[in-house]
Structure formats: structure tokens, C-alpha cells
């Protein structure tokens, strides 16, 4: 499909608007919308918060959109949820053309394209689709795979060490990298750690370095329910604990998902999180849990902060993984991006076999 330079510019504008909801729309997708008449922008908006007006409704407020073109980053919905169908709003406004970056992966909401076409409105899609999918990578994962997009964060030295032999790790990276890590926390729906990290570091696991309108759900994997009752992670908003046996933890909901080895069944845990509306899961754990998540195919993306220093052979590594039989059997990654943050380097990488 041939899209004009103006089409591209307006969709990029819509994507910029969608990104304004990066930290607030969960469990809904991040969506932006721009309305034009000729080559003049007459309205724009974005989805700000779940339960609030959708991007198309915001963009069309107080706008005479008859004959207009609407650029939206996600196919307009066709179902009634907490808000009416956006497709019907567009039809009622008598717009002429709708351009969507991507089709809606949610089977309950899809069908807007057919509804619009049935009303005589031109519908086109696929413009900057890759960018739109990246913006909603967690929502797409939950809709199509019934599991959140799992991002594993690690801060390490150049020799791949994350902590001293006794577990001390504060601080391997500098303040700019730590602030950036909190921005990634803020965009996630939930932050996950293990009981080992709770015991050694006693983390709060909250967003603190940046302003955020909400705190992600905090999740702990604690097979034997050993979380100390005075742990800082249990303070504040309620916590979700996955365990392998029945029991209680103060200020926490306990979900029991045992596997055959008396540990938590990790893939099933991801399904349970998806059922709770978790799109993006941010992991900050120790090398043993990191390794278990990788071995069981639960990690989609690696967020690695590298500091130009060395800790030596006795320090802890990034992942507890068995040695491969040969170089060809090693876990291979593909780089998505590299960014320098002060004196540190941030790498974003995905398993090379990933199709995303």
C-alpha cells in the first residue's frame, strides 16, 4: 500500500501522542490519534488511562470531522467495554478515511476495520506498523501469547559480574544508568524479583528516581514463603507472591503454582500474570532466578547496563546457566539498541531466534 510523505508524518505524530501514555494506560494499549482535513491538523489526542476516553474520542472532541482523515496507531475498537466503540464514533463524525498503524490483536476489540468499511469509510493499515508494535509490545504479547513481555534487567561489569561474592551490588553503575533503570520500571506493569534478592538487598522495588503517576505491581517468587515480615517490599501497596506451597505473607496475595521440583512453575506464573492484565514484566533478580527464567524460555528481552570495570572470578555472574556443549550451542542474542549513559553502556537485546 502506498502512503504519502504526509501520511508518514501524521502517523509519526500519532505515535508521539501515543507515547504520552507510556506509564499510564496499563492494562490497555498505548494509542495516539491525529485528525486532519486537507493537510491541516484539526484534532489530536491519546489514550491517557484505562477506563478513560480512547485516543479517537479525545482527538475528535469539539471537531467538525466530516470528510477528514484520521490517523490512529491501533485499529479503532468495535466493542463496548468501559467506553463505547470508537468505530461508531468515527462513523458518527462522518470521517472519510481512517489509517491505522496496526490491526488490533485483541479478538474482543477487533473488527473496527470491517465496521468502518461497511459504513463507506476508507480503511487502510500497516503504516509504521513495526513502530506501533514496539510501543505496545507487551499488549501484543498478552493478546497473542497469553503471557506478558518479559524484560530482564541486569547491571554488570565488563567481565559479566553483578555482585561481590557476598552479594553486595550497590552500586555497580552510575546515577544516570540507575535513573534510566527506574524509567524502565515505570513503564512496566509489574516488577518481579526472587526471595534471594529480598533477603540480600531488601529492596523496595518501587519507582523512585523519576516521577510516575502509578507504581507497578510488585511480584516476588518465594517458593517456601521465606519473605521476612519486616521486608521493605511488603510496605506500601499490596504485593503478589508466587509460592510452591500454601501459606500467608502480610500485605500480600499468595498464588500457589508448584512444579515437580518444589519450585514455582514459571511459564504458568506468566499466564497468571497475563490474566491479571500484566503487559510488560520487568525482572530485577539474582543470577539463579535469572538463569531459571532463561532456561524455561520466559525471557523476551535483556536490558543490560555495563560498567567499565572488573570484579573478578569470585564475584556473581549474570545468569546461572549450564555450560553449552560448544560455541554453536550458546545462547545468541541480537542487539536492538546501544546507548551510553554517563560512564555506563546500556544494551537492549533479544534472543536471536525471536521473531519479534
Active site includes 296?
Answer: no
Q: What is the rounded distance in angstroms from the CA atom of residue 226 to the CA atom of residue 238?
A: 17
Catalytic residue among 56, 75, 265, 280: 56
Q: What is the rounded distance in angstroms from the CA atom of residue 206 to the CA atom of residue 97?
A: 43
Contact 215, 207 (CB under 8 A): yes
User: CA 283: distance to chain centroid?
Assistant: 11
Q: What is the rounded distance in angstroms from the CA atom of residue 73 to the CA atom of residue 78?
A: 15
Q: Is 289 helix (H, G, I), strand (E, B) or coil?
A: helix
Contact 209, 189 (CB under 8 A): no
Judging by DSSP bridges, how do beta strands 40-46 and 32-37 pair with one another?
antiparallel
Residue with grid cell 559479566, as numbered in its chain: 160
Report DSSP letters for 87-150, one per residue. HHHHHHTT-SEEEESS----TTT--HHHHHHHTT-EEEE-TTHHHHHHHTHHHHHHHHHSSPEE
Q: Nearest 5 degrees, angle CA 47-CA 51-CA 236?
A: 100
Active-site amino acid positions: 56
Amino acid at each position: 500500500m502506498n502512503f504519502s510523505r504526509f501520511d508518514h508524518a501524521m502517523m509519526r505524530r500519532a505515535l508521539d501522542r501515543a507515547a504520552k501514555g507510556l506509564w499510564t494506560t496499563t492494562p490497555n494499549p498505548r494509542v495516539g490519534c491525529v485528525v486532519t482535513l486537507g493537510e491541516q491538523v484539526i484534532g489530536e489526542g491519546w489514550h491517557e488511562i484505562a477506563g478513560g476516553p480512547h485516543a479517537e474520542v479525545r482527538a475528535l472532541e469539539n471537531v467538525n470531522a466530516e470528510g477528514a482523515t484520521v490517523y490512529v496507531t491501533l485499529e479503532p475498537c468495535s466493542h463496548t467495554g468501559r467506553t463505547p466503540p470508537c468505530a461508531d464514533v468515527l462513523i458518527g463524525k462522518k470521517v472519510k478515511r481512517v489509517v491505522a498503524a496496526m490491526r488490533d490483536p485483541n479478538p474482543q476489540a477487533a473488527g473496527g476495520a470491517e465496521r468502518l468499511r461497511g459504513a463507506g469509510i476508507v480503511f487502510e493499515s500497516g503504516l509504521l506498523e513495526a513502530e506501533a508494535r514496539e510501543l505496545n509490545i507487551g499488549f501484543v504479547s498478552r493478546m497473542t501469547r497469553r503471557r506478558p513481555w518479559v524484560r530482564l534487567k541486569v547491571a554488570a561489569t565488563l567481565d559479566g559480574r553483578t555482585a561481590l561474592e557476598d552479594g553486595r551490588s550497590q552500586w555497580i553503575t552510575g546515577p544516570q544508568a540507575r535513573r534510566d533503570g527506574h524509567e524502565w520500571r515505570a513503564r512496566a506493569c509489574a516488577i518481579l524479583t526472587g526471595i534471594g534478592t529480598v533477603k540480600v538487598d531488601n529492596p523496595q522495588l518501587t519507582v523512585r528516581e523519576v516521577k510516575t503517576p502509578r507504581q507497578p505491581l510488585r511480584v516476588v517468587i518465594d517458593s517456601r514463603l521465606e519473605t521476612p515480615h519486616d521486608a521493605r517490599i511488603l510496605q506500601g501497596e499490596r504485593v503478589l507472591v508466587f509460592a510452591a506451597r500454601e501459606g500467608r505473607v502480610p500485605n500480600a496475595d499468595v498464588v500457589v503454582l508448584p512444579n515437580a521440583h518444589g519450585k514455582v512453575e514459571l511459564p504458568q506464573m506468566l499466564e497468571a500474570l497475563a490474566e491479571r492484565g500484566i503487559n510488560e514484566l520487568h525482572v530485577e533478580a539474582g543470577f539463579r532466578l535469572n538463569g531459571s527464567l532463561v532456561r524455561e524460555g520466559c525471557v523476551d528481552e535483556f536490558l543490560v547496563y555495563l560498567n567499565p570495570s572488573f570484579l573478578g572470578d569470585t564475584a556473581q555472574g549474570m545468569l546461572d546457566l549450564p555450560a553449552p556443549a560448544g560455541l554453536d550451542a550458546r545462547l545468541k542474542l541480537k542487539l536492538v539498541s546501544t546507548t551510553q549513559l554517563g560512564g555506563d553502556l546500556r544494551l537492549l537485546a533479544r534472543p536471536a531466534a525471536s521473531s519479534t
